[in-house]
């Protein structure tokens, strides 16, 4: 226990590559008509680029392994988890960021993800501008009206169309990293015990996930939080415990994660024509990283420091050359290869504990 990895075994990585190959060569139709993405820097694909914030990364070496080596605003050397899930669902183009999405293409989905954003409005304000989950939902409400217009103004038709799509939501990391565990800038840790704080977050998250339902979502995957206490940034700030990680952060985050399965159960019980699933990032991220070829677990691949952009890569510094061996790209964010492990196991579970009560692939095929 304790070693943080987003690792999966080698055969899984090969099976993902094989699936991607199949999709590209057969040009198959996507399994669902659209894919909408809500979340933080783990999925942001450029929404923060024009905000005044420290949480933006549209400069090299970010994107060094992205097609064209382009720094798009993704917090990785290449693709993020949402990009890879989109490919696995059969989409041939990347889901556009909300900041620049326009035209008919929006009927296939939008990525609303924003670095620094959280469930709570105040979360991430230490970094500057960000698009909170409430605001992401409000943007989605406008998108739904636009889609109704693009589809001929028949709400019944659009409602049915949107019910077949996949929605992924991954929020809460910043409510810990850029809120609760930043006591000089936020008062939440003085007001709430970790248990109470997890309850506060879950209460608000429940409302937000229900709001998504009112905008037509019926197939929703909710991502659990990773082991934030194992990121290089937090270890250098707080110091590691015997586990190799900052135990108090992982323990607090686990209280939030423990409430997600009951949350999903509650939503499925109350909203009987919808299906919410829980992606258990804890089970996905633990395990033996060396089996997937990772050899560097705690140092970031790029030249990063907690003083610069809160652990992001310094601009224009050459990154490590053997990126397939690193779990972390910068002090917080995984490499593309680690993202591939998370995405492939959320899409197709490698263990019964990876997702509950089913994986994204099964959810996509489900007839509701
Ligand atoms: C609207 O769409 C529904 C479902 O596709 C269809 O049954 C209905 O006839 C449409 N209504 C109009 C006015 O076209
Ligand atoms: C905590 O901070 C928030 C603003 O972030 C403020 O609205 C609230 O009144 C504060 N609560 C206490 C008890 O200090
Ligand atoms: C973890 O380390 C901190 C700081 O060194 C220490 O205060 C704390 O007691 C340790 N926690 C555990 C569970 O060992
Ligand atoms: C489900 O409905 C019950 C009864 O109205 C309510 O107490 C509970 O909070 C709801 N749960 C969710 C997750 O919506
Ligand atoms: C998630 O994975 C962890 C680690 O294997 C496990 O302890 C926990 O029970 C899992 N949670 C669910 C809801 O399956
Ligand atoms: C790291 C970890 O706990 N992984 C577990 C995921 O779930 C399977 C059971 O389905 C376990 O065998 C793994 O050890």
Q: Note the pLDDT tens digit of each residue in 320-330.
A: 999 999 999 99
Q: What range defines the domain where residue 198 resides?
A: 10-365
| pLDDT digits 0-9 by tens, 241-289 | 999 999 999 999 999 999 999 999 999 999 999 999 999 999 998 666 6
pLDDT band for 115, please (50, 70, 90 cuts). Answer: very high
Higher-pLDDT residue of 257, 13: 257
Active site residues: 41, 330, 333
Q: In the 8-state DSSP scheme, what is residue 177?
A: I
- The CA R_g of the chain, rounded to the nearest whole Å, is 19
Whose C-alpha lies nearest to ligand 3, atom 13? 247
How far is residue 364's CA from residue 367's CA, in Å, rounded to a whole number?
A: 8
> 206 is written with which tokens?
């429940």
Measured distance CA(323)–CA(79) in Å, rounded: 13
- Distance from residue 263's CA to the centre of ligand 2 (Å): 27
CATH number of the domain where residue 359 is located? 3.40.50.1110
Ligand with the closest atom to the CA of 349: 6
Query: How many CB atoms lie under 10 A from the CB of residue 100?
Result: 11
| CA separation for the pair 10, 55 (Å, rounded) | 32
Domain count, the chain: 1
Between the CA of 162 and the centroid of ligand 1 the distance, in Å, is 15
Q: Would 334 be classed as within a structural domain?
A: yes
For atom 7 of ligand 6, the residue with the nearest CA is 353
Residue 43 lies in a domain: yes
Q: What single DSSP character describes residue 98?
A: T
Weakest-pLDDT range from 101-105, 306-310, 364-368? 306-310
CA of 173 to the centre of ligand 3 (A): 21
Token code pair at residue 132: 């909170």
Q: What is the DSSP letter of 105?
A: G
Mean pLDDT of 17-23: 54
**In this structure, how many other beta carbons lie within 10 angstroms of the beta carbon of residue 262?**
11
Residue 356 lies in a domain: yes
Evaluate whether residue 1 is within a structural domain: no
Pocket test for ligand 6, best of 7, 254, 283 (most atoms within 8 A of CB): 283
Ligand 3 atom with the shortest distance to the CA of 246: 1
Q: Which structure tokens are listed for 290?
A: 């060396």
Say if 355 falls within a structural domain: yes
Which H or E run contains 166?
strand 166-170
Of 239, 318, 299, nearest to 62 by C-alpha is 318
Does 4 reside within a domain?
no
pLDDT at 18: 54
In a domain, 2, yes or no: no
């Amino acid at each position: 226990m304790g070693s943080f990895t987003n690792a999966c075994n080698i055969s899984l990585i090969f099976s993902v590559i094989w699936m991607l190959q199949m999709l590209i060569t057969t040009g198959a139709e996507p399994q669902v008509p659209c894919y909408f993405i809500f979340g933080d820097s783990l999925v942001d694909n450029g929404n923060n680029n024009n905000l005044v914030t420290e949480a933006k990364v549209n400069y090299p070496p970010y994107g060094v392994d992205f097609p064209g080596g382009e720094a798009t605003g993704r917090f990785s050397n290449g693709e993020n988890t949402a990009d890879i899930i989109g490919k696995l669902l059969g989409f041939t183009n990347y889901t556009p960021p909300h900041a620049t999405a326009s035209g008919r293409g929006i009927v296939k989905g939008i990525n609303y993800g924003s670095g620094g954003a959280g469930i709570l409005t105040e979360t991430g304000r230490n970094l500057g501008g960000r698009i909170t989950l409430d605001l992401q939902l409000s943007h989605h409400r406008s998108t739904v009206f636009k889609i109704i217009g693009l589809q001929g103004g028949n709400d019944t038709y659009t409602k049915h169309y949107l019910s077949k799509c996949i929605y992924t939501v991954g929020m809460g990391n910043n409510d810990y990293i850029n809120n609760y565990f930043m006591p000089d800038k936020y008062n939440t840790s003085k007001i709430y015990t970790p248990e109470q704080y997890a309850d506060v977050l879950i209460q608000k998250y429940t409302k937000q996930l229900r709001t998504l339902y009112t905008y037509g979502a019926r197939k929703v995957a909710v991502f659990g939080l990773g082991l934030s206490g194992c990121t290089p940034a937090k270890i250098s700030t707080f110091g590691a415990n015997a586990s190799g990680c900052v135990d108090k952060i992982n323990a607090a985050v686990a209280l939030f994660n423990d409430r997600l399965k009951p949350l999903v159960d509650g939503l499925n019980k109350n909203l009987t024509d919808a299906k919410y699933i829980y992606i258990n990032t804890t089970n996905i991220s633990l395990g033996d990283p060396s089996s997937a070829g990772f050899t560097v677990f705690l140092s970031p691949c790029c030249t990063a420091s907690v003083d610069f952009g809160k652990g992001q890569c310094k601009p224009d510094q050459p990154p490590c050359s053997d990126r397939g061996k690193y779990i972390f790209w910068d002090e917080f964010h995984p490499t593309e290869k680690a993202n591939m492990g998370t995405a492939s196991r959320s899409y197709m579970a490698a263990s019964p504990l990876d997702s509950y009560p089913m994986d994204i692939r099964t959810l996509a095929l489900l007839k509701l």
